[in-house]
Chains A and B, each alone.
Chain A
Amino acid sequence: MTVTEPGTEPVTERVTLAAGASDAEIIAAVEAWLRAHLPEDWQAAVARGDLAAVEAIREDPERGPAWFDLLGDSGLATPTWPVEHGGLGLPADRGAVVTETLARYRAERHNRDFVGLVLAGHTILEWGSPEQKAERLPALRRGREFWCQLFSEPGAGSDLAGLSTRAVQQADGTWLVNGQKVWNSYAHLADFGLLMARTDPSAPKHRGITYFLLDMRTPGVEPRPLKQMTGNAEFNETFLTDVVVPDSARIGPVNQGWSVAITTLMQERNGLSGRPAVGPGEADELVARAVGNGSWEDPVLRDRLLEAYVEEKVLQMTTVRSFVASGDAAPTAEGSIRKLAHSVLAEKLGVLGTDLEADGAVAWDPAEGSEAADRFLAMKTYSIAGGTSEIQRNIIAERVLGLPKDPDPERHLPFNERGRG
């Protein structure tokens, strides 16, 4: 069965998989499809383990998009999406088997598509109008549009609902947006942004926010790259100056953007805590590295590695359990538990990775680089992005253990009457 949506001619038939299919059946079906559709030189490069050659095809401006069109129309890129929107309608744990099988052929979507594929995708599926679904979902499925998130602001980090970017509705129904956003990964490359803006400053802070799907090419949208502590510049700060946004870009009701954002944030927490499977992970890589360079012989280092190995396996088991328990990726406070555990683990692994190196990864040959140093510098991403570990602990304490909510004297005050600290 194929679905025709405006502006898309399917380039392949949709794959059919039963919701109750076993792991083996799903793997067999996906592999059969890949053998029939994945370019031969790609398959050959995978077979001989030549990841650089695969990467070259994936990043090729012609061949990469052609592959992701095909993958998108097959439904395999979005296995958990409903069938009517081009997905396969699989439960989360079945969908994960599809994605893992694709990953073994390096045929899965780019990591940088996470904001589009997962965050925008699920937010639009849940809250989008029929027009928004028809316009955005096909391109998301195919990876033809690149997305970023415009949530945080210089004055609204952990207290995200305290954001002050304004959107004022004009006489013609359009919205005039002014403000500044920050920590916007890939905003300088993005086609669309998930934007939250204040539309009713006289309402308490959670009740005066509206959510928009912003076309990043609109005049007045100006992303400026921010260099991160890693030395890379994936981040941006984004200035919004007299940006005119049509009302058709609004997703969800006016002033109910916070509810829409919860959908996005829950997906983000879930997405950051790993795939639901028990198998080789980062600790296994470090063990292999330690055995290879001899540091495994140090009994103290060995036990630290094994401790991290145990934690990673137990986190994987917990992720499997939460998928089985909820029957779907249904993100709840459970996601906060896994995100917190993952953040703690990521730091352990980041430090351990440098400890395994004879020189502590403090200096390296410029031609070779240092993966251990790269990971060390990136490890703090996990305990901050998507809500800091402190915020996750509050969520767990309040929603899982039933402890009192953190005092927030401004919570019920009209936004424009709260004190500015």
Chain B
Amino acid sequence: MYAEQREPEFGWTDEHRGLRETVRRVLADRAPVARARELAEAGERHDPALWSELAEQVGLQGLALPERYGGFGGTLLDLAIVVEEMGRVLYGGPFLPTVGLAAPVLLAADGGEDGPDGGPAAEYLPRIADGSLTAALAVEAWGPAGEPVVTATADAAGRLTGTAPVVLDGGDADLLVVAARGPDGPAPYLVETGAAGLTRTPLETLDLTRRAARITLDGTPARALGDPGRGAVVLARARAVSSVLVSAEQVGGMTAATDLTAEYARTRRQFGRLIGSFQGVKHRLADMAVRQEMAHSAAYWAAWQEPGTPEFAQAAAIARSYCGDAFLQTGLDAIQLHGGIGFTWEHDAHLYLRRARADRALLGSPQLARAELVPALVPTVPARSTTEGIPA
């Protein structure tokens, strides 16, 4: 689905470094954390002018989409670099929902090079690439083997009924990808935003930089995406890709939170000393650095594996488990080491903690990610037994 990655793990090329620098520069200029806060406080979803610029001048939306769909044919690794940089500045626009969550389903459902022309991928991906379409992924919940738990069901005419309680960018996206139960099990469907029986109820969000809505479908016309018999496989593959990208975003967030905290410890004085000279502070920061290094390794190891392989699926689940827990702890520690100022609305520390908690729930908890490892790790144990006692 994405271009093949040719260098061995962690063999960064000049192209990778150049991409990172470019994205970092554009975001520093146009979307620093202060801008994310400004948009959040104004109740704005995102900066549409920046969105167009990212598509038209930098080409980020189409970076890793196939050339035949108007993209640049980049790799998942390229995309992970972009998302990590966005994570650093808490960019909250439609990029992750559209490119990181919805597009992977369209790509996974697409027949690839040999697939039929004129399918949904050919119709929608070029519009994602040129920045004219945003999309969201609606899932009721994820089960412990990585399968979507759906209450939305499709009738014989392909009309959907059910509810997805929290859909990132679901109230604003131009297109909804819905995981529903079709005649052959879980499968992805497309729902146009003007469709009959579709209700989008805006929600208040923990992560102030992002918007979410409850999606209710009541006999809503929908279009099956790809071969209905492969629906579960398509959704699992796409979810592994999304797991890598969410992990990359978490790495970006935790790197920024660690940097912010280290900078504070290097400059704040108490008792006549820089607080970074106290071991109570140093040691907590050292643990933050360890988590950041480890999370970086986990996210990029996964990004380097070949999508669709068993190694990729395992690495993606490992990354989601590790990065989800790591970012949350770093978010807590960042506030702790800032003391009172870290507990104020004006300080950015809470924005990272909010993002850490929200990202952790995006594709199922770290605990669920670990449960996903079981079938490959212990093939003799039925996957069913892993569902017991694990909260969603």
**Which residues of A come within 8 Å of B, CB atoms?**
278, 284, 287, 291, 296-297, 299-300, 302-303, 306-307, 309-311, 313-315, 317-318, 320-321, 324-325, 334, 337, 340-341, 390, 392-394, 396-398, 400-407
Contact = CB atoms under 8 A, between A and B. Distances in A.
B378 A407 contact: no
A309 B266 CA distance: 35
Nearest to A392: B286
Contacts of A392: 286
Interface of B: 8-11, 258, 262, 265-266, 273-274, 276-277, 279, 281-283, 285-287, 289-290, 293-298, 300-301, 318, 321-322, 367, 370-371, 373-374, 377-378, 380-381, 385-386, 388-390
Given A310-B318, A313-B318, A320-B10, A397 B293 contact: no
Contact of B374 (A306, A310, A334): A306
B282 A403 contact: yes
Nearest to A333: B289
Q: Is the interface of B mostly helix, strand, loop or mixed?
A: helix
Nearest to B301: A317
Contacts of B266: 401-404
A325 B10 contact: yes
A258 B10 CA distance: 34
B282 A393 contact: yes
B318 A314 contact: yes
B374 A320 contact: no
B297 A402 contact: no
Given A402-B266, A403-B277, A341 B294 contact: yes
Nearest to A323: B10
B286 A393 contact: yes
B277 A321 contact: no
Given A306-B373, A315-B294, A403-B276, A291 B285 contact: no
Nearest to A402: B266
A27 to B, nearest CB: 15
Contacts, number: 132
A397 B276 contact: yes
Contacts of B281: 403
Contact of B380 (A291, A309, A398): A291
A287 B378 CA distance: 8
Contacts of B290: 337, 340-341, 396
A328 B290 CA distance: 21
A309 B378 CA distance: 12
Contacts of B295: 314
B298 to A, nearest CB: 5
B322 A314 contact: yes
Contact of B277 (A299, A303, A313, A406): A406
B9 A397 contact: no
A406 B279 contact: yes
Contacts of A299: 388-390
Given A310-B318, A401-B286, A317 B298 contact: yes
B47 to A, nearest CB: 33
A141 to B, nearest CB: 29
Contact of A311 (B277, B300, B322, B367): B322
B283 A397 contact: yes
B371 A394 contact: no
A307 B285 contact: no
Contact of A337 (B258, B293, B321): B293
A158 B320 CA distance: 37
A324 B11 contact: yes
Contacts of B298: 313-314, 317
Given A299-B388, A300-B389, A397-B282, 14 more contacts: A291-B378, A291-B380, A296-B381, A321-B9, A321-B297, A337-B290, A394-B282, A397-B276, A400-B286, A401-B266, A402-B266, A403-B285, A404-B274, A404-B277
Contacts of A318: 293-294, 297
Contacts of B296: 321
Contacts of A287: 377-378
A287 B266 CA distance: 43
B265 A309 contact: no
A297 B294 CA distance: 29
B286 to A, nearest CB: 4
Contacts of A401: 258, 262, 265-266, 276, 285-286, 289
Contact of A396 (B289, B301, B321): B289
Contact of A393 (B283, B322, B377): B283
Nearest to A400: B289
Contact of B297 (A302, A307, A314, A405): A314
A313 B367 CA distance: 16
B370 A291 contact: no
A394 B318 contact: no
A388 to B, nearest CB: 11
A317 B297 contact: yes
Contacts of B283: 390, 393-394, 397
A404 B262 CA distance: 11
Contacts of B274: 403-404
Contacts of B381: 291, 296
Nearest to B304: A317
Contacts of A315: 294
Contacts of B370: 303, 306-307, 309-310
B289 A337 contact: yes
Contacts of B289: 337, 396-397, 400-401
B9 A297 contact: no
A299 B385 CA distance: 9
